[in-house]
Structure 1
Amino acid sequence: MFHKEGHKIIVITLILVVGGYLLTDYFIDIMWLRTLIMIALLIFLFLILQFFRNPKRNTALNDGQVISPVDGKVVVIEEVFEKEYFKDKRLQVSVFMSPINVHVTRYPIGGKVVFSKYHPGKYLVAWHPKASEENERTTVVVENKTYGKVLHRQIAGALAKRIVNYAKVDDVAIQGGESGFIKFGSRVDLFLPLDTKIKVALNHKVRGGESIIAEINE
């Protein structure tokens, strides 16, 4: 199953691959060169299909837990001052996505969308310290009565040239439901209450919609 954001690109890629095959077959007589070009075209098609895949995820709904919004690797766990919405200290957990990860962004908690904003910006590499504040990004805050407010921020990277955000203020967010999509690699930051119990460690690989990032510290 492929994500709707990739349908147009997948069709264009298929046309290019078929066109490349026909042109190669017609103009190139050297067998090894024809084979090499076709292998390259098929690899390109495979990578595009991998990038836009949208596998079904089984989310165990729990208002007291924060789940990973994306697939990837945990690259930041630290206490920071969140400047845009909370304007106070929060625990930041960042998940970096490689180009081969699933790039669907999912709601980390269920509840009501109380803030959603797009920011144009730069395209620094996603792991750059200033990427969270200077890159193109979207900020979404969801609130529920059990956990409170959780902010997740999609951040464009050097390859990501388009962020798609589906969240609108007053929407009902379903935990694990689609919040957006980032094309071609980047990261998502989570900003959590300081008394949150973190359930992951640096370099842990997580699955969007399934892996538990944090829970309420009873």
Structure 2
Amino acid sequence: MEAGFDVGSRLRHLRKSRDLSQRELAKRAGVTNSTISLIEQNSVSPSVSSLKKILDALPVSISDFFAGDAPSQPQPFFRADEMTDIGDGHLSWRLVAARRPDRSMSIIHERYPPGADTGTDMLEHDGEEGGVVISGEIEITVAREVAVLRAGDAYYFDSRLPHRFRNIGNHECVIVSANTPPTFSDGGQELHHA
């Protein structure tokens, strides 16, 4: 997660603003009560999929979670240290313009270390996504199609199709991707790799 971003406090604030107990949020999200407690205490760093399940139960998108309550004024340029990392501490997904109000798309600088995997549960959500592999290689499954993409290769698909990303190589894979709508999902039990 982004250095300096207090995941625990943000989750606690959102939970309390919706007048939910830790137990009720855990029940809605399908996770244990201790999971919510440990995240709120910053004792554990949740995976993106775990955090997504919890946020879907509120419902709050990953983008909105990391954007915070006060959007920034629109600006055209962003330095590397100004992008919000919405990864899970192992995978890095840096979101461009996370705090920009009324964003119409998400642009993400993704880094997958060797062995990284979005998980055996295939991801599905409304929208479309595409990207270009900058370095390394990534195995992408979309519905029943599987391909290994390398630097310069690209993908574009309907995000409602079940999909998965895995770095099967020995080097980090870097991807620059975009998806729309920018919220990844607007509730339900949907997940996204970014």
Which TM-score applies when normalising by structure 1? 0.28
- Structure whose residues are more often strand by fraction: 1
- The structure number with the bigger radius of gyration is 1
